[in-house]
Structure 1
Amino acid sequence: MTALAVLLAAAAVAGCGSDGSDGPITVYSGREEELVAPLFDRFTESTGIDVEVRYGDSAELAATIAEEGDNSPADVFFAQDPGSLGAVDEQLAELPAETLDRVAERFRDADGRWVGTSGRVRVLVYNTDRLEEGELPSSVLELTQPEWQGRVGIAPTNASFQAFVTAMRLSLGDDRTREWLDGMKDNGAKTYERNTPIVEAVASGEIDVGLVNHYYLALVLEEQPDAPIANHLFEAGDPGTLVSVAGAGVLSSTDQEDDAEAFVEFLLSDDAQRFYVDEAEENEYPLVDGVDPPEGLVPLAEIEGPDVALTAFGAELEQTVELLRQTGWLT
Structure 2
Amino acid sequence: MKRRQFVYLVGIATASGGLAIACDANSNQATTELGQTATELGQTATELEQELVIYSGRNEKLIGELIKQFEAQTGAKIQVRYGDTAELASAILEEGTNSPADVFFGQDAGALGALQKAGRTVQLPSALVNQVDSAYRSPEGQWVGVTGRVRTVDYNTNLVKAEELPSSIFGFTDPKWQGKIGWAPTNGSFQSFVTGLRVTEGEDRAKEWLEGIKANDPKVYPNNTSIVEALTRGEIAVGFVNHYYLERIKQDNPEVPVEHHFTEDIGSLVNVAGIAIINSANHPNIAQTFAEFLLNEDAQNYFASQTYEYPLASGVAAKGNLKSLNEIRKQEKRIDLSNLNDLDNTLKLLQQVAII
> SS of 2:273's equivalent?
strand
* Stretch of structure 1 that moved more, 212-221 or 69-78: 69-78
Decide whether the 8 Å contact of 2:102 with 2:278 is kept in 1: yes
Decide whether the 8 Å contact of 1:215 with 1:283 is kept in 2: yes
Task: In structure 2, list runs of 5 or more residues that go unmatched.
Answer: 1-16, 31-44
1:1-331 alignment, distance < 5 Å? 3-4=19-20, 6-8=21-23, 12-13=27-28, 22-89=49-116, 90-235=119-264, 238-277=265-304, 279-280=305-306, 282-303=307-328, 304=330, 305-314=332-341, 316-330=342-356
Q: Specify whether residues 113 and 10 from structure 1 end up closer, same or farther in structure 2 by C-alpha distance, changes over 3 A only.
A: farther
Aligned-pair distance for 1:10? 7.0
Structure with bigger helix share is 1
Matched-pair identity in %: 43
Decide whether the 8 Å contact of 1:143 with 1:184 is kept in 2: yes
Q: Paired residues, what number? A: 323
Q: Specify whether residues 172 and 62 from structure 1 end up closer, same or farther in structure 2 by C-alpha distance, changes over 3 A only.
A: same
Decide whether the 8 Å contact of 2:148 with 2:272 is kept in 1: yes
Which one-letter code corresponds to 1:33 in the other structure? E
Q: Specify whether residues 116 and 7 from structure 1 end up closer, same or farther in structure 2 by C-alpha distance, changes over 3 A only.
A: same
* Stretch of structure 1 that moved more, 87-96 or 102-111: 87-96
Q: Specify whether residues 157 and 25 from structure 1 end up closer, same or farther in structure 2 by C-alpha distance, changes over 3 A only.
A: farther
Decide whether the 8 Å contact of 1:59 with 1:159 is kept in 2: no
Decide whether the 8 Å contact of 1:30 with 1:61 is kept in 2: yes
Aligned-pair distance for 1:263? 0.8
Q: Under a length normalisation based on structure 2, what TM-score does the superposition of the two structures give?
A: 0.84
RMSD (Å) for aligned C-alpha atoms: 2.4
Q: 1:257-295 deviations in whole A, cap 9, x for unaligned?
A: 111111111111122112123x31x31111111212224
Q: 1:232-278 deviations in whole A, cap 9, x for unaligned?
A: 1112xx1101122111111112111111111111111122112123x
* Stretch of structure 1 that moved more, 53-62 or 98-107: 53-62
Q: Under a length normalisation based on structure 1, what TM-score does the superposition of the two structures give?
A: 0.90
Decide whether the 8 Å contact of 1:140 with 1:239 is kept in 2: yes
Which one-letter code corresponds to 2:354 in the other structure? G
Q: 2: CA distance between counterparts of 1:36 and 1:302?
A: 28
Q: 1:69-122 deviations in whole A, cap 9, x for unaligned?
A: 222222211111101211222212221221111111111012211100011211
Q: 2: CA distance between counterparts of 1:209 and 1:84?
A: 29
Decide whether the 8 Å contact of 1:11 with 1:47 is kept in 2: no
Decide whether the 8 Å contact of 1:121 with 1:241 is kept in 2: yes
